[in-house]
Chains A and B, each alone.
Chain A
Amino acid sequence: MITLVALPILIPFVLIIGMLVCRSDKLARWLGPVASGLLLLLTVVLFVFVQKHGVLAIQMGGWEAPFGITLVVDYLSALMLVVSAIILFVIAVYALNFLPDSININRFFIFFFGLAMGMNGAFVTGDVFNLFVWFEVMLMSSFVLITMGRSKDQLEGGIKYLALNLVGSLLFLAGVGLLYGKTGTLNMAHLAEILKNDDQAILMNTSAVLFFIAFGIKAAVFPLYFWLPASYHTPNITISSLFAGLLTKVGVYTFIRFFTLFFVHDPQFWHQILLVVAGFTMVAGGLAAAAHYETRRILSYHIISQIGYMIMGLGIFTPLAIAGAIFFTLHNMIAKTNTFLVSGMINKARGTFELKEIGGLFKESPLTAILFMIPAFALAGVPPISGFFAKFILIKAGIENGNYVITAVAIFTAMLTLYSMIKIWNEAFLKKQPGNGNPGRSYSFSFAEYFPSVLLGIVSILMGIFAMYVFGYTMEAANQLINPDLYIETVLKGIKL
């Protein structure tokens, strides 16, 4: 049964092989979504198990921790797995209709599952170096995905994306090396145990800097985010959507994991710097989103701005704040992906992403309008959709912990978010289609085209209405993070199932 923990990695691996061999588009179109659906099912089962047992761990190859590689699933991992599986599933369906002809769908799914494998690996691994490997798997897949269309812009964006992320990877690897040099171990739980009792743990700070930068680049925080706006708008919208919800959040996940589990020895420094970075990230991203008139660019900058909130939660570092950060991350993954999906639909209807050339969609396709409204309102924090609770928890945590400045920045950024969302809404939906009455390429969508966005919209709303459960889980996750004893014990001593 415990093998279940390894399956989020192994199933995509098998699927990669399948897709390599698969030459039929028909089969791929069928296999991709179904397999992603199964993956979703699997993660839900895992989550149920986590609810039952608290933390699940498997020692790969039967080599006991800390010697072998341990895969661990706690609340945080399980939540991330479930939400990212939802997104993967949705994108797999979306790809069927929105991937251009120039991209072979059976090839697309190779990298799609590569991304899934790397990401799931990053979520479940309990080993620092193994995490590096999964990061690379994820990164490599994303490199290919971003350049799949082979247009000039995509290649240019791809080069920038790749260059900065590779720097991040190398710093990560250096960090792993230094960490191992100083502690003699790679297992995260073991690291936590060693550093917990060591008064010299402060010497970890330099390694922590390297991880900080590495994750900062992945998570796209200020001033390390440049690659994101330079590249996210270049690939096909399916791929942008895939990235928007997932990639940076893995960075956030590792941030949370590392800075709650074992880089906890110098809170003054790290929490301060996290907060500073968070604040700048929010504002820089928010301002830039306000400056642009291309939906994907707006949304890309907006990703950055939202990352700031997640980091803010970590920087405040109370259980509530961390729960807020996790809640925010989960909500943001869903809503952000959805906005990208809808912008893809807009593009399909109008043939452009430029807001100045679009209009009249509210009248023409009210359902599309609602589909945009849900995630946009979620992001803007309109109650009772998911985003409100995420922001509320963070602001509450900030105020109650006395972090007034960052809270003020967060509120200011919320206004920036509102501005960007209203801008898209006003321009694309409310205003008349510009040009002399030419409605552009009118397009009515089929159910299959609506489905991904509808599903995510429903998830966003449910996350709001049933916020008590989601909050319960994130609080549970936060408590596990703040008091990692169960995690450590499960990894190092094993569990009985």
Chain B
Amino acid sequence: MEIVLAIVVGILYTAGVYLMLRRSILKFIIGLIFMSNATNLLVFLSAGLVSGSPVFVDGEKINAEVMADPLPQALVLTAIVIGLGIVVFTLALKYKFFELTGTDDLDQLKKTDN
């Protein structure tokens, strides 16, 4: 199963990178979200997968069954929330930029380079 999910990761990365290479800033942001999702999934996946056993311990009882690895879950959760902050800021930035310049075309953004 991991292979299928690894492929999903690849697909998400592909979509993300492809979108990031577009000229529209909006598409760039969407690409960013895809890539962010891909990365989260990758982190989640690479520790190995266990289905159907959420990591809730039942009081002091020793748990016999194999539990999923809780650590990547916590990491990804953190990453998702951080990603939210970043995405919204990026959106706001894009919004403000568009308001000022009226362009969404990344190729128009050449003023600060030369």
B19 in the interface, Cβ–Cβ < 8 Å?
no
Judging by beta carbons under 8 Å apart, are B43 and A174 in contact? yes
Given the complex of chains A and B, what is the CA–CA distance between A77 and B111 in angstroms? Answer: 38
Q: A140-B86, A153-B112, A231-B112 are in contact. Are A178 and B42 (CB under 8 A)?
A: yes
Q: Which residues of B contact A170 (CB under 8 A)?
A: 32, 35-36, 39
Among B94-109, those with CB < 8 Å from A are: 94, 96-97, 100-101, 106, 109
Among B46-87, those with CB < 8 Å from A are: 46-48, 71-72, 75, 78-79, 82, 85-86
Q: Which residue of A lies closest to B96 (CB)?
A: A155
Closest chain B CB from A284 CB (angstroms): 14
Q: Which residues of B contact A177 (CB under 8 A)?
A: 39, 42-47, 72, 75
Q: Which residues of A contact B93 (CB under 8 A)?
A: 143, 147, 155, 158-159, 162
Number of interface residues of A (CB under 8 A): 38
A303 in the interface, Cβ–Cβ < 8 Å?
no
Q: A155-B96, A159-B97 are in contact. Are A136 and B109 (CB under 8 A)?
A: no
Q: Which residues of A contact B109 (CB under 8 A)?
A: 156, 159-160
Q: Which residues of A contact B106 (CB under 8 A)?
A: 159
B90 in the interface, Cβ–Cβ < 8 Å?
yes
Given the complex of chains A and B, what is the CA–CA distance between A173 and B35 in angstroms? Answer: 11
Closest chain B CB from A149 CB (angstroms): 12
Chain A 196-234: CB-based contact to B (< 8 A → 1; otherwise 0): 000000000000000000000000000000000111011
B89 in the interface, Cβ–Cβ < 8 Å?
yes
Q: Which residues of A contact B32 (CB under 8 A)?
A: 163, 166, 170
Q: Which residue of A lies closest to B94 (CB)?
A: A159
Given the complex of chains A and B, what is the CA–CA distance between A173 and B82 in angstroms? Answer: 11
Given the complex of chains A and B, what is the CA–CA distance between A129 and B47 in angstroms? Answer: 14
Among A133-166, those with CB < 8 Å from B are: 133, 136, 140, 143-144, 147, 150, 152-153, 155-160, 162-163, 166
Q: A174-B43, A180-B43 are in contact. Are A155 and B100 (CB under 8 A)?
A: yes
Judging by beta carbons under 8 Å apart, are B72 and A180 in contact? yes
Judging by beta carbons under 8 Å apart, are B89 and A140 in contact? yes
A27 in the interface, Cβ–Cβ < 8 Å?
no
Closest chain B CB from A220 CB (angstroms): 14
A167 in the interface, Cβ–Cβ < 8 Å?
yes
Interface band, chain B: 35 or more
Given the complex of chains A and B, what is the CA–CA distance between A122 and B90 in angstroms? Answer: 23
Q: Which residues of B contact A159 (CB under 8 A)?
A: 25, 93-94, 97, 106, 109
Given the complex of chains A and B, what is the CA–CA distance between A253 and B72 in angstroms? Answer: 26
A181 in the interface, Cβ–Cβ < 8 Å?
yes
Given the complex of chains A and B, what is the CA–CA distance between A286 and B40 in angstroms? Answer: 38
Q: Which residues of B contact A186 (CB under 8 A)?
A: 71
Candidates A163, A174, A233; contact of B112 at CB < 8 Å: A233
For B48, B75, B106, the residue with the greatest tally of chain A CB atoms inside 10 Å of its CB is B75
A176 in the interface, Cβ–Cβ < 8 Å?
yes
Candidates A162, A167, A231; contact of B90 at CB < 8 Å: A162
Judging by beta carbons under 8 Å apart, are A181 and B48 in contact? yes
Closest chain B CB from A140 CB (angstroms): 7
Given the complex of chains A and B, what is the CA–CA distance between A163 and B21 in angstroms? Answer: 11
Judging by beta carbons under 8 Å apart, are A230 and B39 in contact? no
Closest chain A CB from B111 CB (angstroms): 6
Q: Which residues of A contact B97 (CB under 8 A)?
A: 152, 155-156, 159
Judging by beta carbons under 8 Å apart, are A166 and B90 in contact? yes
Judging by beta carbons under 8 Å apart, are A229 and B113 in contact? yes
Closest chain B CB from A482 CB (angstroms): 30
Q: Which residues of A contact B89 (CB under 8 A)?
A: 140, 143-144, 162
For A136, A144, A174, A186, the residue with the greatest tally of chain B CB atoms inside 10 Å of its CB is A174
Judging by beta carbons under 8 Å apart, are A129 and B36 in contact? no
For A166, A177, A180, A181, the residue with the greatest tally of chain B CB atoms inside 10 Å of its CB is A177
Closest chain A CB from B40 CB (angstroms): 8
Judging by beta carbons under 8 Å apart, are B71 and A180 in contact? yes
Judging by beta carbons under 8 Å apart, are B85 and A140 in contact? yes
Given the complex of chains A and B, what is the CA–CA distance between A133 and B86 in angstroms? Answer: 12
Candidates A140, A147, A169, A176; contact of B43 at CB < 8 Å: A176
Among A171-203, those with CB < 8 Å from B are: 173-174, 176-178, 180-182, 184, 186
Closest chain B CB from A217 CB (angstroms): 14
Q: Which residues of A contact B39 (CB under 8 A)?
A: 170, 173-174, 177
Q: Which residues of B contact A182 (CB under 8 A)?
A: 46
Q: Which residues of B contact A144 (CB under 8 A)?
A: 89
Given the complex of chains A and B, what is the CA–CA distance between A143 and B91 in angstroms? Answer: 12
Q: Which residue of B lies closest to A152 (CB)?
A: B100
Given the complex of chains A and B, what is the CA–CA distance between A177 and B40 in angstroms? Answer: 8
Judging by beta carbons under 8 Å apart, are B36 and A176 in contact? no
Closest chain B CB from A111 CB (angstroms): 12
B interface residues with partner A (beta carbon < 8 Å): 20, 25, 28, 32, 35-36, 39-40, 42-48, 71-72, 75, 78-79, 82, 85-86, 89-90, 93-94, 96-97, 100-101, 106, 109, 111-113
| A153-B112, A177-B72 given; 9 more Cβ-contact pairs under 8 Å | A140-B86, A147-B93, A150-B96, A156-B112, A162-B89, A163-B28, A170-B32, A181-B47, A231-B112
Q: Can you give 11 contacting A-B residue pairs, CB < 8 Å?
A: A136-B82, A143-B89, A156-B109, A162-B89, A163-B20, A167-B20, A170-B35, A177-B43, A177-B44, A177-B47, A180-B46
